[in-house]
Chains A and B, each alone.
Chain A
Amino acid sequence: MVGHAENLLEMKGIKKSFNQNHVLKGIDLDIKAGEVHVLLGENGAGKSTLIKILTGAYQKDAGEIYWEGRAVHLQTPADAMRLGIATIYQELNVIPQLKVYENIFLGRELKRGGKMSMLDHKTMREEAKRCLEMLGQSPDLADMQLGKLGMGQQQLVEIAKALTLDAKLIIMDEPTSSLSVQEVHQLYKCVEQLKEKGIAILFISHKLEEIKRLGDRITILRDGFKIETLPVKTTDTDDWIELMVGRSLDEKFPKQTFTLGREGFRVENLEVAGASEPVSFRVRYGEIVGISGLVGAGRTELARAIFGADPRRNGKIFIDGKEVKIKSPRDAIDAGIAFITEDRKGEGLLLDQKLDFNITMANMKKFTKKSRLINLNEIREEAKRFIRELKIRPDHIELKARNLSGGNQQKVVIAKWLCTKAKVFIFDEPTRGIDVGAKVEVYRLMNQLVENGAIVIMISSELPEILGMCDRVLVMREGRITADLPIKEATQERIMKAATGG
């Protein structure tokens, strides 16, 4: 059997299992030169595994891979690189202390002569400049120290590195998930230029608007199967979602409106790190308040200041009209505040601990008896209850948090905070990197919280999410609140204006 010559890459019947767990059950994928091919699927559908096979990080159990019509065996990442397959990971593999061009040639530095000779800085610098220019960047970037660049530019450096390797296929794994709006647009431009040069891109993203804008074809995976490959331009996003989750989603944003009650939470003149003036706002019962703004506008800093996560500055916080003194996260938790952080793995979970440990760790007091011993049985029962209620999969408390998909990990973090009996919930980018199905579940949970008399604040960079789920939106810029809009008056334009100061 041979592949079709018109395809740059062809994968046929790829299978892969881990222990008893069949992750890929026969996936077909073909990519043409110069196309942007999108991979869409829920967390756990098999996207990451498929990519790791393509980059040589994992070995397939069965199936064939053809590159430019010839069968190939990808045993190591070096094999994939030699063929011209490059990957831009979410977490970049760069050394911030080195200059941009040094990063680009890291591990394969050019020499003036034989193995032991001096490095050829001149050629490396020029080659780096050429590739940066191809991406529409200033060639001066080559001599900058990499650590001084923003996330977006660092990513472009990785792409430039792929170009110096003569990559024909660049895999981008959620490349825009941590970029600011301007950086995202720069990346889009860069993708278009790569396309023009005949370079194929395998693009992984959960953002449907982004896919619509950039993609040529889309392949949808579900439960380790390939469901369909469709042209992007002539199909509808709702169809993709249906194919992806295997059922029709009633709605992307299950917004419920409740009667507005009295004020439940107030922040007064809170000094936030890096802000020019203190922040004040209030939240009433029955509403979800969104906090919008660009990356770096001080939203997370505000949440951390409320929660006592950073050294305390001036300002007052009131719950139900009573001032609460918060000097540390412990004080915040005792006052009834929950902070679902943006970075699940870095700030939320103990990856090597079991689910019951994770779910109960913020409220150990509850399970500590008079003897000062913990009742392990109660811990297990409580964890089981949350696993059931939040539909955490797989539903086994003995599993380590590491072995769950992103969406389920997020549910474990939320369960941890529900377990503290908090009254005020601050969600920071609660749906980042989780699939559409899990997103809806998180939104439903917010509704439930509001219905049961909790205060819900959601920080989000996704405007559709803010507009779809919130009753009111605060917009932040440079650490200040620049707009406070009821959702009816909030439009994409008004929010962006307040966020950029334009």
Chain B
Amino acid sequence: MSQVAVQTKNEAVEKNRAFKRIISKFGPLIGLILLTAVLTILSPKFLTINNVMNIARQSSINALLAIGMLLPILTAGIDLSVGSLLALSIMMMGIVTVNMGMHPLLGILVCLSVGAAFGWLNGILLTKLRLPHPFISTLGTMNIARGIALIVTGAAPIAGFPYMIQFLGREFVGPIPVSFLLVIVVYVFFHIFLTRTQTGRYIYAIGGNPEAARLSGINIDRVLIIVYTISGFMAGLAGLVMVGRVNSAFPLAGLSYELDAIAAVIIGGASFLGGVGTVWGTLIGALIIAVLRNGLNLLNVSADFQMTVIGAVIIAAVFVDVLRQRKSKKA
């Protein structure tokens, strides 16, 4: 091979690498933009104010669950219970406000506290009972919470919530759904929490290397309990939004929502091994799922086929992540 040929080959390799770097850093965002572009071409209804606001509204429940889910995943854990906690939280809220006729603010408090309390329990099971992996403890509480949600009303739904409770999930500010404004506020809050507070940094440290974190004086149990409590709290908050949207609470609400939340976090670039992942990546992950669902609906694709597509997207997104990991290890 001549010298010149070698040189051009090296340049090509260099360009290829720069390209890969960009893909890996902004991969989820590029994916979202491409997806939007394709759907805009395929359906004239897609890129309208109305539809975009629709997507914002549809994404909000999953976005709230996903940002809660990001925390356990950052610590190399998982929270399978959030879908069930959502159901239990809103059933309890329904009992307090509709069946017992108490003040809606008390109902909201109950809704958020039930989620947080079960999240705290997840944390205790993991750290104090030393169950080997949160997959197990949260699998347990997932079933327990769902069971209680069914028991409390004998599986009957509760409807007719007061306006104050419905506000978050139902109202708009101009064209913008309040639920999406809530998502933005929550995400900004989480971004600050994770990057600018001691506990936030500890979450990354524990996921990156638990032993190094412990020997650096980090109280791992305390941080993990906070993490699962927050995740449970977010399930309660997502439930509040859901009640506003459908004006009823039913015990099978949020069934398998934890899987969409996990998918959003992973599509957003977080690592299952812990220590890697961002708030904005998670938001994009949640939006990708919502855009896909919405777009496929507009194109009259059946719900069954939608599942198949979303499954493929999860695998593709993680594969991009694997490529990135491989690259950073070689460098």
List residues of chain A with CB under 8 Å of any chain B CB: 18-21, 58, 61-62, 307, 309, 328-330, 332-334, 339, 341, 346-353, 357, 361-362, 364-365, 368, 372-374, 376, 400, 402-403, 416
Complex Cα gap A361–B328 (Å)? 23
CB distance B217 to A350 under 8 Å?
no
B198 interface contact, C-beta 8 A: yes
Task: Mark contacts of B12-28 with chain A using CB atoms, 8 A cut-off: 1 yes-contact digit, 0 otherwise.
Answer: 00100100000000000
Task: Mark contacts of B90-131 with chain A using CB atoms, 8 A cut-off: 1 yes-contact digit, 0 otherwise.
Answer: 000000000000000000000000000000000000000000
Known contacts being A19-B17, A364-B201, is A330 close to B212, with CB within 8 Å? no
Complex Cα gap A18–B10 (Å)? 11
B41 interface contact, C-beta 8 A: no
CB distance B219 to A330 under 8 Å?
yes
5 pairs, CB–CB < 8 Å, chain A vs chain B: A347-B211, A350-B212, A350-B213, A353-B204, A361-B216
- Cβ-Cβ contact count across A and B, 8 Å cutoff: 87
CB distance B17 to A351 under 8 Å?
no
Secondary structure type dominating chain B contacts: helix
Q: Looking at the assembled complex, report how far the CB atom of A370 sits from the nearest CB atom of chain B, in whole angstroms.
A: 13
CB distance B211 to A361 under 8 Å?
no
Chain A residues with CB below 8 A from B217, complex form: 328-330, 332-334, 362
CB distance B331 to A309 under 8 Å?
no
Complex Cα gap A51–B197 (Å)? 43
Nearest first, the 10 A-B pairs at minimum CB distance are A350-B208, A362-B216, A330-B217, A333-B217, A364-B198, A373-B196, A347-B211, A329-B217, A374-B196, A350-B209
With A19-B17, A58-B330, A328-B217 given, name 4 new contacts (CB 8 A).
A18-B331, A329-B217, A330-B218, A350-B275
Complex Cα gap A473–B10 (Å)? 55
For A347, the closest partner residue in chain B by CB is B211
For B192, the closest partner residue in chain A by CB is A373
CB distance A347 to B208 under 8 Å?
no
262-278 of chain B: CB within 8 A of chain A: 275-276
CB distance A357 to B201 under 8 Å?
yes
Complex Cα gap A416–B217 (Å)? 12
CB distance B208 to A351 under 8 Å?
yes
CB distance B205 to A361 under 8 Å?
yes
B214 interface contact, C-beta 8 A: yes
B312 interface contact, C-beta 8 A: no
Complex Cα gap A33–B218 (Å)? 53
Chain B residues with CB below 8 A from A372, complex form: 197-198
Query: Interface centre among B196, B202, B209, by most A CB within 10 Å?
Result: B209
Chain B residues with CB below 8 A from A402, complex form: 328-329
CB distance A352 to B208 under 8 Å?
yes
Chain A residues with CB below 8 A from B213, complex form: 350, 361
Chain A residues with CB below 8 A from B214, complex form: 309, 329
B215 interface contact, C-beta 8 A: yes
Selected from B14, B204, B209, B218, the residue in CB contact (under 8 A) with A349 is B209
CB distance B215 to A351 under 8 Å?
no
Complex Cα gap A346–B6 (Å)? 41
Q: Looking at the assembled complex, report how far the CB atom of B308 sits from the nearest CB atom of chain A, in whole angstroms.
A: 33
CB distance B198 to A368 under 8 Å?
yes
Query: Interface centre among A307, A329, A402, by most B CB within 10 Å?
Result: A329
Query: Interface centre among A21, A334, A352, A362, by most B CB within 10 Å?
Result: A352
Q: Looking at the assembled complex, report how far the CB atom of A365 sits from the nearest CB atom of chain B, in whole angstroms.
A: 7
CB distance B17 to A353 under 8 Å?
no
Query: Interface centre among A21, A350, A368, A376, by most B CB within 10 Å?
Result: A350
Task: Mark contacts of B51-87 with chain A using CB atoms, 8 A cut-off: 1 yes-contact digit, 0 otherwise.
Answer: 0000000000000000000000000000000000000
Q: Looking at the assembled complex, report how far the CB atom of A347 sits from the nearest CB atom of chain B, in whole angstroms.
A: 5
Known contacts being A309-B215, A362-B216, is A374 close to B197, with CB within 8 Å? yes
Selected from A330, A348, A361, the residue in CB contact (under 8 A) with B201 is A361
Q: Looking at the assembled complex, report how far the CB atom of B3 sits from the nearest CB atom of chain A, in whole angstroms.
A: 11
Chain A residues with CB below 8 A from B201, complex form: 357, 361, 364, 374
Complex Cα gap A309–B17 (Å)? 43
Chain A residues with CB below 8 A from B209, complex form: 346-347, 349-351
Complex Cα gap A456–B312 (Å)? 56
Chain B residues with CB below 8 A from A19, complex form: 14, 17, 331
Selected from A61, A329, A352, the residue in CB contact (under 8 A) with B216 is A329
Complex Cα gap A346–B204 (Å)? 16
Q: Looking at the assembled complex, report how far the CB atom of B218 sits from the nearest CB atom of chain A, in whole angstroms.
A: 8
Chain B residues with CB below 8 A from A353, complex form: 204-205, 208, 275
Complex Cα gap A58–B211 (Å)? 31
Complex Cα gap A77–B195 (Å)? 41
Chain A residues with CB below 8 A from B330, complex form: 18, 58
Known contacts being A352-B276, A376-B196, A403-B331, is A328 close to B219, with CB within 8 Å? yes
Selected from B196, B215, B275, the residue in CB contact (under 8 A) with A341 is B215
Chain A residues with CB below 8 A from B276, complex form: 352
Chain A residues with CB below 8 A from B192, complex form: 373
